[in-house]
Amino acid sequence: MITGIFPPIATPFINDEIAFEKLRENISRWNEFDLSGYVVMGSNGESVFLTRSEKIKLVESVKKYSKPGRTIIAGTGLDSIKETISLSNDTINAGADYLLILTPSFYQAQMKHDALVDYFNRVADSVKVPVIIYNVPKFTNVNIKAETVAKLAEHQNIIGIKNSSENLAELTEIISSVPNDFSVLVGTASVLYPGLGAGAAGGIMAMVNAAPGECISIYKNFIDGNYEKCLGIQKRLVKPNKAVTATYGVAGLKAAMDMMGFYGGRTRSPLQKLSGNEIEDIKQIFKEAKLLK
Amino acid sequence: MITGIFPPIATPFINDEIAFEKLRENISRWNEFDLSGYVVMGSNGESVFLTRSEKIKLVESVKKYSKPGRTIIAGTGLDSIKETISLSNDTINAGADYLLILTPSFYQAQMKHDALVDYFNRVADSVKVPVIIYNVPKFTNVNIKAETVAKLAEHQNIIGIKNSSENLAELTEIISSVPNDFSVLVGTASVLYPGLGAGAAGGIMAMVNAAPGECISIYKNFIDGNYEKCLGIQKRLVKPNKAVTATYGVAGLKAAMDMMGFYGGRTRSPLQKLSGNEIEDIKQIFKEAKLLK
Amino acid sequence: MITGIFPPIATPFINDEIAFEKLRENISRWNEFDLSGYVVMGSNGESVFLTRSEKIKLVESVKKYSKPGRTIIAGTGLDSIKETISLSNDTINAGADYLLILTPSFYQAQMKHDALVDYFNRVADSVKVPVIIYNVPKFTNVNIKAETVAKLAEHQNIIGIKNSSENLAELTEIISSVPNDFSVLVGTASVLYPGLGAGAAGGIMAMVNAAPGECISIYKNFIDGNYEKCLGIQKRLVKPNKAVTATYGVAGLKAAMDMMGFYGGRTRSPLQKLSGNEIEDIKQIFKEAKLLK
Amino acid sequence: MITGIFPPIATPFINDEIAFEKLRENISRWNEFDLSGYVVMGSNGESVFLTRSEKIKLVESVKKYSKPGRTIIAGTGLDSIKETISLSNDTINAGADYLLILTPSFYQAQMKHDALVDYFNRVADSVKVPVIIYNVPKFTNVNIKAETVAKLAEHQNIIGIKNSSENLAELTEIISSVPNDFSVLVGTASVLYPGLGAGAAGGIMAMVNAAPGECISIYKNFIDGNYEKCLGIQKRLVKPNKAVTATYGVAGLKAAMDMMGFYGGRTRSPLQKLSGNEIEDIKQIFKEAKLLK
């Protein structure tokens, strides 16, 4: 079962090429935190801008730089089932322990129960490591239903879901629809504490890139029953989380990483550079939240 | 400060006219539960289908039938500020202790911070009892922001908000933006427990009409620190709550009330009668949730 | 049958009260144009901000100021069927020749075929003048389907529709679903020419308030078969139309009226005043479109 | 300049593999119609389900089967600029005369003016044939603005746009914002006639796969000034077009192709097979539209 806190790692670039040395440095710092592992090629990894060979090399590198024992999860879902299986298997050979498979989304109006069950079952049948469903409606405009997750949980190779919605009713419905050993993971740091309260097993959240300590602290305090402490940290994280996701996206997350002592750097085009005012706005929000001094 | 559990009472009709005797019977049963009071003319009260004089008579009747000491909250918000103030003051004379004021919504694209601040301040300036903001994007397509709520909380006659969203990040952001004595109330039973966990003071929720006991039980167990019990009940309520709100609306709520021993009856036109299959679907969902035997 | 061009007249205010003298002056100027009549209490009339008695007085005044022979259409649709019928009949006594009835919208998810058929049939059964359906999804979030319009067209007292969508496929489907003597009216000036090309009988369009000449010119040139001229004017109107509807709303329309020699003035609260920059933006757009020099 | 009518060809499959013989037969029949050329790997070509090597082979085959002189347009846009350029150049070597480049869409909230200008300019700089912008909000949730199209039209290697929206105001605004030799193409058959009326140069429309004759007839009659004939055909096409796009998607289009004497067959998974009732519904709609007897 997948539990604990994971960063969906931002891919560092210098001059539009992957900066493996910066990746090594970031992971080296994250290795000092009590993280469960690393997610490569999630939404915040700018996966859609990477070439196939870059993806494989990225997984190999994260595996290599990662502290031993940490779980490597690779995001390999594409609309094409053939391409998903092929990329997944190459990624597994490069070191991935689990796959994070995005709901297919191009024909969003058709991505109902039967289509999603068909897609995930076919993929899960053909890959050699366990699959985690990845639901992120803000990017896919597809929102998998609890009954679909429940159906997919019957497949022995589908073992969890990362649900990147802030809707706690949906999260609770999913949790109450799947077996206890199916890992429901929170997908955004703004609802980590309520998500754990509803029975989530952990979280894969952009914010972990920039503020791993606070995210881990919510998780550990929750386990220890220190709910007031959880709520205190949670309240501080809501606005910074909005800044590095909804408001400014990956460029905002990378700017925050730069502020917090990690390497963020530039996003790949067509994502654009933030203006000085936008960076200042993020800085203020992080200061007010006492993440920055 | 407003705390505890309130039903936004469904208005009973017989032959398309308000059935005051049925209202009396429903309230008489609700009086036996440990509710904080009653909300008249909320979204589930089919307020938009009532004439002005029906509204006044409804408030008078609820006041009369209610157990002494219970708080009466009247929903009187309309797009027109003049009409809102006039209706509010008549409603106060009829017995309302608080007003629940819907965000104006017709010109939804223009209902930003300044417009909402202006609207609520003008209303709050001109009515004789405290105002609770009512945010319910699924009906209004307007979603008030935390910073707007924070600004409005500075007005001494605006004392709380009913927030009918399932987005816990937004709820948490609102709670962390207002003073401690500003009452943030959950607006839908699917997120009552996480909402309380985030610091909400109680809830005004359609489901209370049909299943007051379970809603109160979450509230009391939360206060007593029995979080596992809260989560257990919460998980059971998510699907029934979806059935009587998103899926079947007020007609579904009224069907559930009929099943649970209250008088639900028909909605007013243009809301339509449920089919036999739809009623059966609700029954099954309530049985699976152990609300019905 | 309703044909030709109508302004849905903007309600003039001075110090937040209806400025009847300004209304008289505006109508006096519009009387010089070849308009078919006037629409009172449309979306651009800030109808939702008017009290019941203001509405009646407004209809009486427009009737009085209007050039003889011009058709007076009053917008009287509310969610409540009882209130709609009552207001409609008072409005008819005040001089309305036709009623423009908005789709009910509060319970938007339930406003499907059966509900809409029920609503409009009940209203049309109980009012003494013919009914025009008013479909405006950007305000109501309800979009009436061609098959529903076709069903409603069977009622002898429902004689047309104002469809305020820019979707020409939907407009064409409606036109091809109703009898030839059912008046389909374009609801926004950005698609007047293609709408006429698809068979529409005319238009009720915000822009007519500010630029009646251009709208009438498209209509007349269309009838005369001067399609290139129609297209030329149409192209000039798209951006100004967007400015006075989607971008700046009623406040933008009123600013444009002020520029074009009519009285626009302020909107009622909670609609807010435009900034100087916003007004300048509208001015530039109107200049580039050669509506202003 | 690109003018006239193009089918975005549906990719035929047998047992989940591309059926090149069926492709040859379909093209052979389309060759008899007065089409301007063929679009390979558009949205209706299930491009997102094809592997890279399948895409290249598909372009080669369409080129080979196509009547000499017909224009081959290949859809090669991906979020990744690197992958888009690489695939585009391989596709050009395989025979593509033009590229149809989808707006990038994964980070939809960030795909504003600057990002889109950057993306298209970089792609257009690096490919050897002219680029046509492809705007299809129902799949991408990105809607390119007229001002962005106007900016991109300044690039000498960006020569047109396929705009798959039914919003005629937006189409008219685009047409009035670009030079006369920039090809604006209608993207859905439900608005072909109004689109041509607004100045479009032709259309790339799913419906051409199944009913090329009617689409060409609208185009030719428009050129000849027979507008009533255009409107007559247009009215018949609206409902069938809705069936093979919004309602049933690519599976619906393929079912219609089967009915109309082309090879449609099955879609690739995860798109699902239509039920017998759904196919019957399409058949009825095509019969009522007199496309089928």
Q: What is the pLDDT of residues D133-150, one digit of tens each?
A: 999 999 999 999 999 999
Q: Is the dihedral of CA B267, B271, B277, B278 positive or negative?
A: negative
β-bridge mates for residue A17, sequence order: A14
User: What does pLDDT average to over chain C?
Assistant: 98
Cα radius of gyration rounded to whole Å, chain A: 18
Tell me which chain D residues have a C-beta less than 8 angstroms from the C-beta of C234.
172, 198
Catalytic residue of the set C67, C162, C283, C293: C162
User: What does pLDDT average to over chain D?
Assistant: 98
- Give the model's pLDDT for residue A4: 98
What type of residue sits at position A89? Answer: N
Q: Which two tokens stand for residue A58?
A: 């990225």
Sheet containing D158-163: order of strands: D4-6, D202-204, D183-186, D158-163, D131-135, D98-102, D71-75, D37-40
Catalytic residue of the set B55, B151, B162, B254: B162
Cα separation, B33 vs A169, in Å, equals 25
For C111, which DSSP code?
Answer: -
Chain B nearest C-alpha distance from A77 (Å): 27
Q: Say whether D49 and A82 touch across the interface (CB within 8 A).
A: yes
Chains contacting A (3+ CB pairs below 8 angstroms): B, D
A242 to chain D, any CB pair closer than 8 A? The answer is no
B119 to chain C, any CB pair closer than 8 A? The answer is yes
Nearest to C134, CA basis, from C103, C97, C165: C103
C113 to chain B, any CB pair closer than 8 A? The answer is no
Q: What is the pLDDT of residues A252-269, one digit of tens each?
A: 999 999 999 999 999 999
DSSP B133-190: EEE-HHHHS----HHHHHHHTTSTTEEEEEE---BHHHHHHHHTTS-TTSEEEE-SGG
C107 to chain B, any CB pair closer than 8 A? The answer is yes
Nearest to B289, CA basis, from B243, B229, B224: B243
Rounded to the nearest 10 degrees, the angle between the axes of helix C227-242 and helix C276-288 is 170
Residue D149: count of CB within 10 angstroms of its CB: 25
Q: What is the pLDDT of residues C75-102, one digit of tens each?
A: 999 999 999 999 999 999 999 999 999 9
A85 to chain D, any CB pair closer than 8 A? The answer is no
Q: Say whether D242 and C169 touch across the interface (CB within 8 A).
A: yes
A80 to chain B, any CB pair closer than 8 A? The answer is no
For A24, which DSSP code?
Answer: H
Is the pTM for the entire model greater than 0.90?
yes
Tell me which chain B residues have a C-beta less than 8 angstroms from the C-beta of C103.
none
pLDDT band, residue A19 (cuts 50/70/90): very high
Q: Say whether B104 and C270 touch across the interface (CB within 8 A).
A: yes
Q: What is the pLDDT of residues D237-263, one digit of tens each?
A: 999 999 999 999 999 999 999 999 999
Q: Are B52 and B78 in contact (CB under 8 A)?
A: no
- Give the model's pLDDT for residue D28: 98
Mean per-residue pLDDT, C150-157: 98
Q: What is the pLDDT of residues A224-247, one digit of tens each?
A: 999 999 999 999 999 999 999 999
- Give the model's pLDDT for residue C286: 98
Q: Are A221 and A16 in contact (CB under 8 A)?
A: no
D138 to chain A, any CB pair closer than 8 A? The answer is yes
Mean per-residue pLDDT, D23-35: 98
Cα separation, C263 vs C42, in Å, equals 18
What type of residue sits at position B29? Answer: R
For D132, which DSSP code?
Answer: E
Chain D nearest C-alpha distance from C232 (Å): 9
Chain B nearest C-alpha distance from C97 (Å): 25
Please report, rounded to a whole number, the percentage of residues in chain C having pLDDT higher than 90.
Answer: 100
B·C CB contacts under 8 A: 97
pLDDT band, residue C46 (cuts 50/70/90): very high
- Give the model's pLDDT for residue B249: 98
Tell me which chain D residues have a C-beta less than 8 angstroms from the C-beta of A82.
49, 51
User: What does pLDDT average to over chain A?
Assistant: 98
Cα separation, A217 vs A221, in Å, equals 6
Tell me which chain A residues have a C-beta less than 8 angstroms from the C-beta of D269.
81, 115, 118-119, 122
Q: Are B116 and B150 in contact (CB under 8 A)?
A: no
Cα separation, A270 vs A165, in Å, equals 25
Burial class (CB in 10 A: 0-12, 13-18, 19+), A197: buried
Q: Say whether C173 and D239 touch across the interface (CB within 8 A).
A: yes
Q: What is the pLDDT of residues A132-188, one digit of tens each?
A: 999 999 999 999 999 999 999 999 999 999 999 999 999 999 999 999 999 999 999
Point out the residue among A119, A138, A269 whose CB comes nearest to the CB of D122. Answer: A269
Q: Are B192 and B215 in contact (CB under 8 A)?
A: yes
Point out the residue among B169, B176, B191 whose CB comes nearest to the CB of A169. Answer: B191
D184 to chain C, any CB pair closer than 8 A? The answer is no
Cα separation, B9 vs B33, in Å, equals 14
Mutate to test the interface with C, among D147, D164, D167, D168 (most CBs of C within 10 A): D168
- Nearest chain B residue to C83, by CA: B51
Q: Are B184 and B18 in contact (CB under 8 A)?
A: no
Point out the residue among B173, B193, B241 whose CB comes nearest to the CB of A238. Answer: B173
Nearest to D119, CA basis, from C3, D129, D108: D108
Q: Are D59 and D96 in contact (CB under 8 A)?
A: yes
Cα separation, C156 vs B83, in Å, equals 34
Q: Which two tokens stand for residue D153?
A: 């039209």
Q: Are B173 and B200 in contact (CB under 8 A)?
A: no
Q: Say whether C167 and D172 touch across the interface (CB within 8 A).
A: no
Chains contacting C (3+ CB pairs below 8 angstroms): B, D
Q: What is the pLDDT of residues D13-27, one digit of tens each?
A: 999 999 999 999 999
Nearest to A162, CA basis, from A146, A183, A147: A183
Q: Say whether A168 and B168 touch across the interface (CB within 8 A).
A: yes
Point out the residue among C167, C198, C241 whose CB comes nearest to the CB of D231. Answer: C198
Catalytic residue of the set A55, A151, A162, A254: A162
A191 to chain D, any CB pair closer than 8 A? The answer is no
Concerning whether C151 is annotated as a catalytic residue, the answer is no
DSSP A54-120: HHHHHHHHHHHHSPTT-EEEEE---S-HHHHHHHHHHHHHTT-SEEEEEPP-TTGGG-SHHHHHHHH
Please report where in the chains the tokens 């895409």 appear, as a residue. Answer: D55
Point out the residue among C199, C231, C239 whose CB comes nearest to the CB of D231. Answer: C199
pLDDT < 50 positions in chain B:
none
Q: What is the pLDDT of residues C199-254, one digit of tens each?
A: 999 999 999 999 999 999 999 999 999 999 999 999 999 999 999 999 999 999 99
Q: Are C19 and C265 in contact (CB under 8 A)?
A: yes
